[in-house]
A and B are shown apart, each in its own frame.
Chain A
Amino acid sequence: MQQRFTYLTVTLAGLAGWLTLAPVAPADEITRGEMLSVSCAGCHGTDGKSPGSIPSIAGKSADTIETALKEFRSGQRESTVMGRHAKGYTDEEIKLIAAYFGSVK
């Protein structure tokens, strides 16, 4: 029943979502982007707001974050630890993470 219901609403409300492509899903869903991103908070602070010497990532655009992660991963951008972390994520995952942080308030 629940399965059917989801199908129905896809046609009703899905279109709007498809067109606007909000960067994160509505509050009630735990997305893969969020699951990946909460693991960064141990170093960058909750929602990327850092209280100490590690740079905040809150307030940066998705593009800035995506570029930074890819450059850390390739070694193009120097780092102490980010290179080692960024290598743990695929292009697709980096996009999801960047979209998540790019959208948090």
Chain B
Amino acid sequence: MGTYSRRDFIKLIGAAGATSAVGWPLIAQAKRGHVVIIGGGFGGASCAKYLRKLDPGIKVTLVEREKEFVTCPFSNAVLGGLYDMGFITHSYDALRQRWDIKIVHDTAVAIDAAARKVKLAGGKTLKYDRLVVSPGIDIRWNALKGYDEAASELAPHAWQAGPQTVLLRKQLEAMKDGGVVVITSPANPYRCPPGPYERACMIAHYLKQKKPRSKVIILDAKDGFAKQGLFIDGWKQLYPGMIEWVKGTDGGMIDRVDAKTKTVYPTFGDPVKADVLNVVPPQSAGAIALKAGLANKDGWCPIDQKTFESTLHKDIYVLGDAAIAGKMPKSGYAASSQAKVCAAAIITSLRGANMPDPSYVNTCYSLVGPDYAISVAAVYRLQEGQISGVKGAGGVSPKDADPAFRRKEASYAVGWYKSISADIWG
């Protein structure tokens, strides 16, 4: 009997009653609705699939502007030459065919929260009972002086995977041996806190094979970063002398960039000239979230952290990078985990039923080398309205681990990628 809490037990019996053959109407099927989702990435596509998995009676329409999704996870490994673009590209066929989700390839341009309608660039309007917005990030052009959309064609950000990833890879391939790659890393919060440092590793891996006299310099707005100790140990072991990290107060903080001359101007100290310049720029929630009035003055969306419903507009839920989700980082795993909680919240709200207590997880693997990975993990619960890490759980990989341990984590990093991709788009 210990298996069930009192609450679960009551639910079990209640639900058994609802489907029992005593001739009563089926409560659970009395209410169904139409959920529209904007964004078919980690948050949006997960939410679409799990809405249909948890409640096959619900109608789901997914609006995504791209025909295929290219993941940021493992895009650094593409830059390092470990994988090709095909490895990180996913089709929407399974969501359409296996899960019976209506996929509309179009751009959402406006949301009418009062009339519960979404307007698409193609002219169509979609009516919803509940709306999920998971648009990821957009770049805040010109928030860093000199960095606008045209500049990103010369000095790519590659912080939204796709053509930008290909461009950065081409520039690395074209660079001469002995060249300098500069990566600028922004202040918090931004998408994928360990991302810039994993990128430095993967670029160094490529350079070590092909252009061993080259260097990577990270100019950081911050004085510390995710998994810092583990990264720095990894750099020493795999890429001695190749990666230089300059912290904010040591001159890493930057004022402006000149993409044409690939020059970075720190707040103090001399300009730094790059052969390849990768700017990880300041970011905000995806443009549609700002336009629909779902964001605060900092450009991120406040939500009820139990359900992900916007605190600014009723019946609209915001997930993933765009949302302010307590202690969770802006990661793909976090977005996907949030999406499942949100799916449960939407289903139970449409049914007028109780939502089970939420539980959320995140793990970010970072590849230091092809056979060397490190990770950070956490399990989260809602505590006083805030998503907070469970004390005593989670944390980073051990500092003193042997090469076999790092190798195992490198294998599990790829395993994670295959599992989560299949869990979301499969």
On whether the two chains bind one another, the answer is yes
- Stretch in contact with the other chain, from B163-171, B198-206, B349-357: B349-357
A5 contacts across to B, CB distance below 8 A: 24, 27
Binary CB contact string for chain A from 71 to 105 against chain B (1 if under 8 A, 0 otherwise)? 00000000011001111110011011001000000
> A96 to B375, Cβ gap below 8 A?
no
Q: Given that A9-B22, A13-B13 are contacting pairs, would A45 and B412 also be in contact in the complex, using a CB cutoff of 8 Å?
A: no
Main secondary structure of the interface of B (DSSP, over half): helix
Q: Given that A2-B352, A42-B420, A52-B419 are contacting pairs, would A28 and B15 also be in contact in the complex, using a CB cutoff of 8 Å?
A: yes
User: How many residues from A make CB contacts under 8 Å with B?
Assistant: 52
* Shortest distance between the CB of A94 and any CB in chain B (Å): 10
* Shortest distance between the CB of A102 and any CB in chain B (Å): 10
Q: Given that A28-B15, A28-B18, A30-B356 are contacting pairs, would A89 and B416 also be in contact in the complex, using a CB cutoff of 8 Å?
A: no
User: How many residues from B make CB contacts under 8 Å with A?
Assistant: 71
Which of A21, A31, A39, A92 interacts with B360 by CB under 8 Å?
A39
A12 contacts across to B, CB distance below 8 A: 17, 20, 22
* CA gap between A55 and B119 in the complex, in Å: 44
> A43 to B393, Cβ gap below 8 A?
no
> B7 to A80, Cβ gap below 8 A?
no
Q: Given that A87-B390, A95-B3 are contacting pairs, would A41 and B405 also be in contact in the complex, using a CB cutoff of 8 Å?
A: no
* CA gap between A45 and B49 in the complex, in Å: 13
Binary CB contact string for chain B from 387 to 426 against chain A (1 if under 8 A, 0 otherwise)? 0001011110100000001001101101111111011001
> A25 to B12, Cβ gap below 8 A?
yes
* Shortest distance between the CB of B401 and any CB in chain A (Å): 8
Q: Which residues of A contact B (CB under 8 A)?
A: 2, 5-6, 8-10, 12-14, 16-18, 21-22, 25-26, 28-36, 38-46, 50-54, 80-81, 84-89, 92-93, 95-96, 99
30 contacts between A and B (CB under 8 A): A2-B27, A6-B14, A8-B17, A9-B16, A9-B18, A9-B24, A10-B10, A10-B17, A12-B22, A14-B13, A26-B16, A28-B29, A29-B14, A30-B54, A30-B353, A32-B357, A41-B419, A42-B420, A42-B423, A45-B422, A46-B423, A46-B426, A54-B415, A80-B405, A81-B377, A85-B363, A85-B379, A85-B394, A86-B393, A87-B392
